Each structure stands twice: as C-alpha cells, then as structure tokens.
Chain A
Amino acid sequence: MEILGNLFYGLGIALSPENLLMALIGVVLGVAIGAMPGLGSVNGVAILLPITYAVPPTSAIIFLAAIYYGAMYGGAISSITLNIPGASTAVATTFDGYPLAQKGQAADALVTAAVASFIGGTISIVLFTFFAPPLAEFALRFGPPEEFAVVFLAYGTFAGLGGESPIKTLIATMMGLLMSTVGTDIVSGSPRLIFADITGFYHGINFLVLAIGLYGVGEIFYTLEGGMQARERYQAKMGIREIAATIRDLRRYTTTLLRGSLLGFFVGMLPAAGATPASFMSYSIAKRFSKESVQFGKGTIEGVAAPECANNAASTGAMLPMLTLGIPGSPTTAVMLGALYVWGLVPGPRLFIENADFVWGLTGSLYIANALAVLVALFAIPFFIWMLRMPMTILAPVILVVCAVGGFSPTQDMFDVYLMFFFGAIGYFFRKLDYPLAPMVLALVLGGLTERTFRQSLIISHGSIGIFFDFSGHPIAATLMWLSVATFAVPVISYFLGKRRLKF
C-alpha cells in the first residue's frame, strides 16, 4: 500500500537523530507549558515559534507539533492535582480528576489521563494517516449551517454538565453567552458592549482570561479562605505495577475511550470548534451512557478518561484542515498555519504531493511525539505529586504569578490581567454560592461561533430558518439538527412522564 510506504518513509524522517531530539525537547517543553495554569499550547507555540526559524521546516513543524502534543498531556496535570486546568481543553478533566485527587487517587487519575490521551492521540493519528485527503473533502461540506448544527448538538450534549440546580446552570450559561457578544460584531462590523469605551473590550473577552480567572484565581481565593495549611497528603506510590494496574482497569472503559477518540477527531477536524468543546461533549456523552452515571463528578476514572482521549484526538484532528484546506481547526493550529506560510509552504491538496517530506515527516513525528509524550507525562507524575505536597503558602503565589502571565500573554494587554482577577472574584462567589463554572466557560467558547454561524446561515438563506432543516439542500445540517432536537427533548419528555428528575 502506498500510504504505508509513505508512512515508513515519514517515520524514517522523524526518527533521524536531530528530529527525534527536536520532538523530545518539544514534548518536555509542551508538558511543562501545559501543566502551568494559563500557559496553554497556543501561547507555547506562539512564543517558541521564532526558535524554529533556524532549522528546516520539517524539523520545525515536528518541534511545534511536539509542543502541541505535550501541552495536551500537561494540561490534565494541574486540572487533576490543583483543580486548575492548565488549558481550556482540560477544564472537563477537573470534573472527576480533582475529586479523585481529593480521595487520594491523584496518581491513578494522572496515569489515566496520560494513557487515555495516548489512546485518543493514536486513534486520531491513524485516521489522519490513512484518510486525510477524503476527510478534507468531507470537511469542505461543512458550511455555516452545518457548523451551526454541530454547535447546536454540542449544547444538547452539555445539558448534563450542570450542578444540582438547573436554574443556576442556566444563569451561568447565559452569563457566558452574554460575555461572548462583547467586542466586534462580525456581521455588522460594529463594536458591541464596549463598556466605558475601554479599548481592552474591543478584542472581546478571551476565553483563556475567563478560564484562568474562574478556575485559577478563583480556586486560589477559595483555598486561601480555607486556611493556608497544606492540602491532604497524597500517597505517591508510583511504580510499573501501579501503572499496569490502572491500565488494566481502563480496559473496562474501552467503549468510552473509542467513542471519545472518534468524536474528538471529528469535532477537532471541523474548523473553529477545536479540542475544548470536544472534551466536554465526550465527557457528557460518557456520563449519559455510563452504567455508573451517578459516580460522575464525584471522582471516577471514566470521567477522566473520556475528556482526555477526546482532547488529544481533537488536537490531531485540527491539523487536518490546517494542512489540507489552509484553515485552522483550533487556535494553536492557527499559529502553526502562520508558520507554514513563513516557511513558504502552501497548504492544500498539493502540499501532500509537492512537499511529501514535510507532510509525511510530520505524520511520522505525530506517532513518535505521542509515544514520547505519554512516557514524559508518566515519568513526571512523581514530580507533580511532590509539588502537591508543597504548602499552599508557597504554591498559591507561584500559581497566581503564572496565571497573570497566562492572562497577559495572548493579547499582551494589562487590561486582560485585571479582567482575569475580576473573573477570579466571580469564580470565588460562584464556588461559595454553588454555581457551576463550566457552563460559563463553555458558553463563552461556543457563543461567538454559535452566533456567527447562525447569522451567516440566515444571510445565505435570506432569512429562512428552513436552511437548518432542509434535507435536500443541507442533509448534514438537517440530520444533526434533528438529532439535537432529540437530545433536548428526551430529558424534558421523561420529566413530564415523571420517570426521571429533570436533568440539565
């Protein structure tokens, strides 16, 4: 098979000593960047991009892809140990990762996250290797109505994410949606909700600023109130045997892992959605279909596995439209796309023919980077457990500084740092008053996309809402829309039938 030949050729390129070294350095940096609250892969790749100018493009993309991969693994680490997601892609990992850590099972959760990431990444890379060109063809069929339908379906699956009170979930969601409308309105071109004419609102509210504020700063405020004593002592028994036992345990969740990986890959492949919604969708679907549904949120291994396999799968999926169509599938791939142009490469189907070295070298390196990342992440676990034992008096200031850097770096605007602290205060009160945080972050991530695709669709259809339900013109959109209607309807109907409590 021609693809296999190409793949071995690519692996050969990726395994050359200098490329292997690039991948290793990239993965280690990536895990570290990902583990630091606020410094996600977007910033990591953007900051380290100039370093790659000294090496050939193939080595450079291998380096960047390794950072991207490493950061996906690293993001889970602080989610689990500190309840502070290292990146927005790891927000869903806090749901069960942190409760596990509180129960003294931090090591199990960390191993699960690493292994699930590896599985998600690998499945996704295999799909990428064998089906990239036909999948690109498929991605082209997604215009504004189809994209809206995907987002709409995502809302349907999120209905299960909230806390105990549906009203509180609704309020948090609405606040997120409201914040997503701040900034420049793409359809009319005018600035909206620029409070007191503050320039910092022109670029809208960055979801990183909200996520770091709510989770990072908010968590620190909340912990400080509880006293400065160290968190619980964790058992740091981490040997090959423990790892093997956790992996054996994971076999029970094969379906969840497979479903999450496939879902992650496809959501990641669609432009603009990216790994964050993918991880949430995977989590809530796993929760809905799990036999141990009630355990979700209280610390279950399955609740860590589901989002982690999906976010890694999505990060590979996001590379596909970047290389084949020249459009980024996630914020990080947008930066990488910029790098492609800097190196003088033109994305598109011809890249696969004219720059075969580059494409197959990258594909080969994805396998290598994924394998390296799982090893680095596993080896780093004892270190992170050690870090956890540090008293909060030392940990809290360090985290606050890293959060501030994370809030500053995307826009280099001090206003975003102030905004982040403001959201920290909101995060504190949300915790006090038992409001869920996740729906707010999610609504902000998806709000802009929802509004944009909805309005673009209506402009195209000249105001007719029928565009979303038109099976002949937009079969994909129509199918997805009816599916979402069903996901919304099921809980409501079962509520009225009195079989189940209304679960939002």
Chain B
Amino acid sequence: MNSRNWTRRFTHLWIVALALVITAAWSLPSAEAAWKPTRPIEFVIMAGKGGGADRIARLMQKIVTQNNWSPQPLVPINKKGGSGAEAMLYMKSKQGNPHVILVTLNSFFTTPALRKLPVSYKNFTPIYRLAMDTFLLWVNKKSGITNVDQFVKAVKAKGGKWTMGGTGKMQEDQLVTNMLSQAYGLKGLITYVPFRGGGTVAKNLAGGHLDSTVNNPAEGLPHTPNKMVPIAALTPKRIPAFPNVPTFAELGKPSLVYFMMRSINAPGGIPAGATKWYSNLFTKLCNSDAWKTYTKKKALNRACLTGGPLASFFADEDVKHKKLLKGMGLIK
C-alpha cells in the first residue's frame, strides 16, 4: 500500500465527483425546461358532450391544433357523472401523470363539499384560468317585467309559485338563485326547477314554461331580444354585450356578484417542468386572437391568470363557496 495508490484513488474519486456534478448541473434544469408531452394529452371535461365546458374544451383543442402549439394532440374526454365527481375522482387516480388535464368549473369547489368526496382542489396542480363567465337575471319578454323592482313585486304576487329554472341541483344556478332570494327577501317564494343544461333552461324560459332564469349570456343570446330579456347582471361592472342592463351593484346590492370560472387543472404531483409547459401553452391560448374573439362574442370575461395568484384565487373561491353552501344549510 503506497501513497501513489492512495493519490490515484483520490483522483478517481475527484473525477467521479466532478462528473456527477456536471451531469447534475446539465440534466436537472434542462430536464425541467425541456419537458414536453410525449403521449397524447387527455383533456377531461367534467360535463357532457355539447355543454358549455365541452364547447370551450373543443375550442381550445382547435386553437392549439391550428397553431401547432403542442407536439401531441389534446384528446377531449367527457366524464359528466355526479356533477363533476366522476371527473375529479378520475383525476385523483392519475396523481403524478402529466398527460391528463381537467377543464374545471365552479363544481370544482361545490361538488367535493356537497358529496363529501375524498378529493378537493388541493389535490390538483393549478395551471391556468382562462375566463370568468357571467350571470344575468332573465325573464320572459311577455311578462312585461323590465326591472328588478317589478321582478320582486311579481315574485311576491305569485305567493310562492314563482319558478326559476337552472342547470343541475345545488350547482351555480341554484347558488345564484339563493343569493338573489336572500338579498331581496324572497326566501320560500321561488321554486327552483333543475334541468340538464343551460340551453334547455333558456329554451324553457323562451317558451314560457318558466318565470325566470339566471342564464349565462351565451345561453340566453339565441332568444334575445324577442323571447327573453335580461333585467340585471351579477357583475361588478356592466357587461359590454348588454350596455343597457344594470348591475345589481348599481341597484344597491353589491353582494350580488357571481362568476363561473373556466380554468385548467392538472393532477397533483406532476413534474415542475410540465406545469411550466402547460402554463406557457395556456398563456399563449388566452392571449390568442381566436380566444379574444370568442370571449367577446360570448360576452365572457377573458381573465388570464396563472401561478401563485391562481392558487390563491382557488383558495378564496373554495372559502366563498363553502360559505354559500353553509348559508343554504347544505353543509355544516
């Protein structure tokens, strides 16, 4: 055992260590920056074919395909069961898989709370928020109602027989209905009738089978202005597509503001590089002309948000929705 041997060993160690450092320095950041989908991306939609979420997902697929922004195709898959429960449980089973993303609505917060699901927004990686859909209070044109005062009077006059149609049970439309009846003291006077989709709800108001609805602008537009009319908006500012419709805030009810988010989430535990790749992809999409045109046409608020602010937005929304559901006595 001489000292030369020792030195040699030492040198070997040095070389190995250096090689390790170089490899680490080389591979780690580059692996992150260079993450790209290597398989087709499952684009899960928590609603059925032809619904609002489905349309948006397919539009996004179109924009991404046309611009060649993704090396792999986006494949829309509808998982409509249980007001989003099926989709969220499916996503949970895909923990750590970067080739699945979910288009989320507000049921992202309400469904897990109502159904006591073993999953919540915390199990997901926030990717992007693309838009906030707005709500309006609509009545049938034949009713002759043109403002909220007349609406309140008409509801009271009907003595508990006033009907309000909406999509699903204990989902966005019913939350809005409840907010309305609390703000105007109409508790117990409005009967909520659940339907399967916003288009059907609007059609039933246009055909005179319902007294009022809280449809999104896109759902009401086919029947405006001949069959149904909006009388107030649940937004902080007037909706550009309806410049003559006042907001509830203008009418002295600033608490009556409600949005439906259109956002994208990935399963929890995906590589940071994947998060970044998706975030870049949807940033491009949100700022594309196609998206700007679509949101304008649909009177949708384009609302691009990602990263930390998006995570805190989700946390705020979750608190807000739990409060709303508690107010309705639906959860403890």
Contact = CB atoms under 8 A, between A and B. Distances in A.
Interface of A: 42, 46, 49-50, 53-54, 140-144, 183-184, 186-191, 199, 201-204, 271, 321, 325-328, 331, 333-335, 337-339, 341-342, 344, 346-350, 411-413, 452, 456, 459-460, 462
B199 A327 contact: yes
B114 A189 contact: yes
B327 interface: no
B83 interface: yes
B79 interface: yes
16 contacts: A143-B209, A183-B82, A184-B83, A186-B195, A189-B170, A202-B82, A203-B79, A203-B86, A326-B203, A337-B199, A346-B297, A348-B221, A349-B222, A456-B195, A459-B163, A460-B191
B81 A202 contact: yes
Contacts of A142: 207
Given A140-B207, A189-B114, A348 B223 contact: yes
A328 B209 CA distance: 18
A351 to B, nearest CB: 8
B83 A53 contact: no
Interface in B11-56: 42, 48-50, 54-55
A203 B207 contact: no
Contact of B227 (A140, A188, A201): A140
A339 B58 contact: yes
B70 interface: no
Nearest 8 interchain pairs by C-beta: A143-B209, A202-B81, A348-B222, A189-B169, A334-B50, A203-B81, A140-B207, A202-B86
Contacts of A350: 222
B204 A144 contact: yes
Given A189-B83, A348-B221, A411-B79, A337 B50 contact: yes
Interface of B: 42, 48-50, 54-55, 58-59, 61-62, 65-66, 73, 77-83, 85-86, 89-90, 114-115, 160-161, 163, 168-171, 191-197, 199-200, 202-204, 206-210, 218-219, 221-223, 226-227, 293-294, 297
Given A46-B49, A189-B114, A204-B81, A325 B203 contact: yes
B81 to A, nearest CB: 3
Contact of B168 (A141, A189, A326, A348): A189
Contacts of A348: 221-223
B52 to A, nearest CB: 9
A187 B207 contact: no
Contact of B81 (A183, A187, A325, A331): A183
Contacts of B293: 344
Contacts of B297: 344, 346
A349 B225 CA distance: 11
Nearest to B56: A341
Contacts of B54: 338
A331 B78 CA distance: 13
Nearest to B80: A203
A456 B193 contact: yes
Given A199-B89, A203-B79, A456-B194, A141 B207 contact: yes
A455 to B, nearest CB: 9
B61 A341 contact: no
Given A143-B209, A337-B50, A459-B193, A191 B82 contact: yes
B130 to A, nearest CB: 15
Nearest to A138: B207
A346 B221 contact: yes
Contacts of A337: 50, 199
A187 B50 contact: no
Given A42-B49, A203-B80, 9 more contacts: A50-B73, A183-B82, A184-B85, A189-B83, A202-B89, A326-B222, A346-B218, A348-B222, A411-B79
Contact of B196 (A202, A335, A452): A452
A456 B195 CA distance: 8
A420 B168 CA distance: 28
B49 A334 contact: yes
Q: Which residue of B79, B168, B203, B219 has the most chain A CB atoms within 10 A of its CB atom?
A: B203
A470 to B, nearest CB: 13
Given A53-B65, A460-B191, A342 B59 contact: yes
A203 B47 CA distance: 10
Contacts of B66: 53-54
Nearest to B192: A459
A327 B226 CA distance: 17
A54 B81 CA distance: 32
A101 to B, nearest CB: 34
A341 B194 contact: no
Contacts of A202: 81-82, 85-86, 89
Given A339-B58, A344-B297, A348-B221, A460 B209 contact: yes
B200 A327 contact: yes
B61 A460 contact: no
A344 B209 contact: no
Contacts of A413: 79
Contacts of A49: 58
A32 to B, nearest CB: 22
Q: Which residue of B85, B163, B191, B209 has the most chain A CB atoms within 10 A of its CB atom?
A: B209
Nearest to A412: B77
Q: Which residue of A331, A342, A350 has the most chain B CB atoms within 10 A of its CB atom?
A: A342
A334 B293 CA distance: 23
Given A202-B85, A203-B86, A344-B293, A326 B199 contact: yes
B87 to A, nearest CB: 9
Nearest to B170: A189
B109 to A, nearest CB: 15
Contacts of A183: 81-82
A460 B222 contact: no
A331 B50 CA distance: 9
Contacts of A341: 55, 58-59, 218
Q: Which residue of A46, A184, A189 has the most chain B CB atoms within 10 A of its CB atom?
A: A189
